Amino acid sequence: MPLSDRLFKKKLAGEPVQGSIAQAEEKRRRHLQEIKIKIHRSLIDRMNLDALMALDIDEAHKEVGLIVRVLFDELKIAVTATERETVIKEVVDETFGLGPLEPLLSDPDIDEILINNATNVYIEKFGKLQKTTVEFKDDDHLKHIIARIVARVGRRIDESSPMVDARLADGSRVNAIIPPLAIDGPAMSIRRFKKIPFKPEDMVRRKTLNDRILHLLEIAVKSKKNILISGGTGSGKTTLLNILSSFIPYDERIITIEDAAELQLQQEHVVRLETRPVNLEGKGRVSQCDLLKNALRMRPDRIVLGEVRGEEALDMLQAMNTGHEGSLTTVHANTPRDTISRLETMVSMGNSSLSHNAIIRQIESAFHLIVQIRRYPDGVRRIESISEVAGLENDVISLNELVSFKQKSTDSDGTIHGEFVFSDVRPKVLDAIF
């Protein structure tokens, strides 16, 4: 059979020539992008900003939507009804919100949004990474969205300050980096936080822990034990810190210290502190160490430090050793033993005059429990172990593992099955109630 006939039969059979559908979709996508730009420019010329500012946000959204519909008719733009509504929504999002990010931010099941560049956007959903079809017009469009986010918290991003930590209105953590540091264009990651914070029972339902572990941790918090949560990036340390913080009695004064405020404490008597980067003159920086020292003068019953990562490590240890019991913090580390080594390194880097023996004794007397949390390959975040600081043996901190997760099997779809196993060691935290 001639080649032309074979190709003709493929077309009759509904088998398109490779790439033709993708090319048509790409052409249509670019056409809609051009329409959106044209509508947006006309909208700016048409809007009465003073009148718009006088409206509440819902009325303003409706008014802009009406103007966009009028512009579609006036410009005689031929699109399908679905495409028309899509463009209208995107133009309104661009005007009031964060443009292409709005659909992702409105999805409560998305935990992280990872933007590698203007055309490469990933999300984490149910513990799994997946690529999206979301795109920005170009690098300048993405930079504009980043600048809009950081401006809301009084920060800036430009070539002289190309990295920034910020947060969204709902408390979600944002990190952005732009050229020249980001080679392939602006990049941004958004760590989402639920509008309704996780409750302890949610952690049990998600198999992060079980009722028995939850009860043990509740006893530890209420009996004012100092707890250190350790784990890798995205393992759920901050979420677990929020859960443990919810066990703090409502009649206690809590001071929180963070680089980017993201803790969602439900108590009323809470003072939230946040670090500040340098200003345009290279001055004005306020570090976690500065805030921790100031917090000690604010009569705290508890200090909750979002994450210890530097010179504030020694101040935190000293606070825990001088009457500020029941404090909570997190640290990046893969095992409880690595956690101790990392703390020692951070204290040594900021205070080189202290001996190894002195640092180890500070750590040993400061913490009672180390809770190790991990995101497993199936996307579930589980408590991997809970270790109790048992004392010193030849200048080495002894740890008693109270709980561990034992993996038993893995399904064909990657789901992990296992159980939480308690050791025969009696936790010292139980001495506080018996």
Residue 301 has pLDDT above 80, yes or no: yes
At 11 the pLDDT is: 47
Q: Which residue has the higher pLDDT, 416 or 168?
A: 416
Can you tell me the distance from the alpha carbon of 282 to that of 90, in angstroms, rounded to the nearest whole number?
A: 38
Contacts 24+ apart (CB under 8 A), 287-295: 287/311, 287/312, 288/257, 288/258, 288/259, 288/312, 289/315, 289/350, 291/257, 292/257, 292/316, 292/319, 295/255, 295/257
Can you tell me the distance from the alpha carbon of 237 to that of 233, in angstroms, rounded to the nearest whole number?
A: 8
Rg of the chain's alpha carbons, rounded to an integer?
A: 27
- Domain ranges in the chain are 20-96, 101-191, 200-432
Contacts 24+ apart (CB under 8 A), 174-179: 174/149, 174/150, 174/260, 176/146, 176/149, 176/150, 178/143, 178/146, 179/139
pLDDT over 90, % of the chain = 38
Can you tell me the distance from the alpha carbon of 265 to that of 346, in angstroms, rounded to the nearest whole number?
A: 27
Which range among 5-14, 125-134, 143-152 shows the weakest confidence by mean pLDDT? Answer: 5-14
At 334 the pLDDT is: 93
Which CATH architecture is the domain 200-432 placed in? 3-Layer(aba) Sandwich (3.40)
At 83 the pLDDT is: 75
Residues with Cβ within 8 Å of residue 267, at least 6 apart in sequence:
248, 250, 252, 254
Residue 16 has pLDDT above 60, yes or no: no
pLDDT band per the 50, 70, 90 thresholds, residue 218:
very high
Alpha-carbon distance values, 18 to 4, 12, 31, 308, 317 (Å):
16, 15, 22, 53, 63
Q: What are the pLDDT digits (tens) for 341-389?
A: 999 999 888 776 888 888 999 999 999 999 999 999 988 999 999 999 9
For the segment(s) 101-191, the CATH number from 3.30.450.370, 3.40.47.10, 1.10.260.40, 3.20.20.10 is 3.30.450.370
Cβ pair 60, 96 in contact under 8 A: yes
Residue 172 has pLDDT above 60, yes or no: yes
| Residue tagged 């920086």 (tokens) | 285
One-letter identity of residue 180 = P
What are 381's two structure tokens?
A: 């975040």
Which range among 4-13, 166-175, 411-420 shows the weakest confidence by mean pLDDT? Answer: 4-13
Contacts 24+ apart (CB under 8 A), 178-182: 178/143, 178/146, 179/139
Determine the average pLDDT of the residues in 115-131.
Answer: 90
Which range among 69-78, 109-118, 204-213, 395-404 shows the weakest confidence by mean pLDDT? Answer: 69-78
Determine the average pLDDT of the residues in 326-342.
Answer: 93
pLDDT band per the 50, 70, 90 thresholds, residue 402:
very high
DSSP-assigned beta bridge partners for residue 389: 399
> Omega into 180 within 30° of 0, i.e. cis?
yes
pLDDT band per the 50, 70, 90 thresholds, residue 280:
low
| Residue tagged 């500020």 (tokens) | 324
Q: Would you call 241 exposed, middle or buried from its count of C-beta atoms within 10 A (0-12, 13-18, 19+)?
A: buried
Determine the average pLDDT of the residues in 277-292.
Answer: 80
Alpha-carbon distance values, 99 to 34, 164, 293, 308 (Å):
15, 20, 40, 34
At 302 the pLDDT is: 92
Determine the average pLDDT of the residues in 313-319.
Answer: 88
pLDDT band per the 50, 70, 90 thresholds, residue 40:
low
At 397 the pLDDT is: 92
pLDDT band per the 50, 70, 90 thresholds, residue 95:
low
Residue 8 has pLDDT above 50, yes or no: no
Cβ pair 429, 369 in contact under 8 A: yes
At 3 the pLDDT is: 46
pLDDT band per the 50, 70, 90 thresholds, residue 4:
very low
What are 375's two structure tokens?
A: 């995101």
Can you tell me the distance from the alpha carbon of 83 to that of 125, in angstroms, rounded to the nearest whole number?
A: 26
Residue 434 has pLDDT above 60, yes or no: no
Closest CA to 125 of 104, 145, 142: 104
For the chain, give the mean pLDDT.
83
